[in-house]
Structure 1
């Protein structure tokens, strides 16, 4: 099992370049005081990738992008290709975020193409999965998650899956109106995801990192990290405030 604790944040459409630079300068200093067991990543908006990559040149903080097309070139106005992200020097690519699924009709078949395209460029896919409130109310959440994983990861080899990361984010727990999930619920869902990964990829599935995201904050993050099969956290608003994020990181470094 990967002993690293993966901690990251998706800035969505929130920070200007100046704000992003100020944030990263502070995060770089914080990272210097942390042990090597914590692996950090940030996912800014597309226009900021090049300048922020330059800022991160002397740091081991990883840089991610928020989505990607699967084709290297083509008449796809508004899209960004894996070739372009490779040139920008990104380390990982967030795929299948619930907002991309909801607002831009991303589906698991296309995500499968994107996962494979990212792997071809040696960019780590961070595949987001999760059930919505209707799925939860009707007790069909597990079926939704199984389908998302089985379709999105279809055709991957054991070697390829070893370079994939999973972010479990229940949709009902995300955003300003999100309701934090209980630690017991997260433990159960991460166990289900782990079992499916093992079912699909045998022993290699035991080592795929599974991050939890969804209203993670200073009050509950330890309860999630204490759950078996939670290998890291994907933090939203509580990580956008660098002071809040620093408190979380220092506590993880001290206690884990």
Structure 2
């Protein structure tokens, strides 16, 4: 079935408020008439409110956050809740990025809590899964992906699952300049969709968008998006430049 493609830019720990607003002003001009896919910008927390204000006049571009804590409030120094993100203007939030898993020890069980909190607050989670290089080279990557899906998505309601965007990000390709080939991306996406069907049924599997993330550039975006199970892109470094990001977005067409 046809799924709406979603192109999201994850700015990570980059851009001051002034830099963020300058980039968004450029993107608003470049994407003013673009309608072929949903576009999501995920700036750092400090820039969320400023970017949200600018996007009020650009309804085709939506705001996302890079992380959240599952608790509604409490003694969690340095964290941010789903309600706070909604108030700031967010409609999406990235959950389970490999850098959160690697540097902050986030487990599948903890990520499941985050997914539930995000959906309950009306946010659409972009839930990231992906394998390290040893798993890819040893052939264990399918089992690794299945484990991540089962650990975080088992037991979620159909309503919750309908709000989730899945993102396949081979960890060995993030920020390395070494991206998965279109064939490797499609193979992994097809496996994820098959596993979704086994866990939650054909309807959920057919409707859930699956993005690819990992050294996405204007050069490879079109080939990746041409794959039948690649429903969008989660863009890292290339989303920090207006020219490169708009080239990736227009590759949808």
For this structure pair, what is the TM-score category when the shorter chain's length is used for normalisation?
over 0.9
What are the equivalent positions in structure 2 for 1:1-256 lying under 5 Å apart? 1-34=1-34, 36-60=35-59, 61-175=61-175, 177-202=176-201, 203-253=203-253
TM-score, scaled to structure 2:
0.95
CA contact (8 A) 2:189 2:210 kept: yes
Matched pairs, number: 251
Deviations 1:153-176 (A, max 9, x none): 12211122111000100000001x
Q: Which moved more, 1:40-49 or 1:83-92?
A: 83-92
Shift of 1:2: 4.6
Q: Is the 8 A contact 2:31 2:246 kept in 1?
A: no
TM-score by length of structure 1 reads: 0.94
User: Within 1, Cα distance between the matches of 2:144 and 2:135?
Assistant: 7
Moved more, 146-155 or 208-217: 146-155
* CA distance in structure 2 between the aligned counterparts of 1:111 and 1:154, rounded to whole angstroms: 12
Cα distance in 1 for partners of 2:234, 2:199 equals 24
Residue 220 of structure 1: CA displacement?
A: 1.1
Gaps of 5+ in 1: none
Contact 1:3 1:37 in 2 (8 A): no
Q: With CA pairs under 8 Å and 6+ residues apart, which has the higher RCO, 1 or 2?
A: 2
* Contact 1:2 1:209 (C-alpha < 8 Å) held by counterparts: no
Q: Deviations over 1:77-117 (max 9, x none)?
A: 11111121121121011000111111011110000000001
Unmatched segments (≥5 aa) in structure 2: none
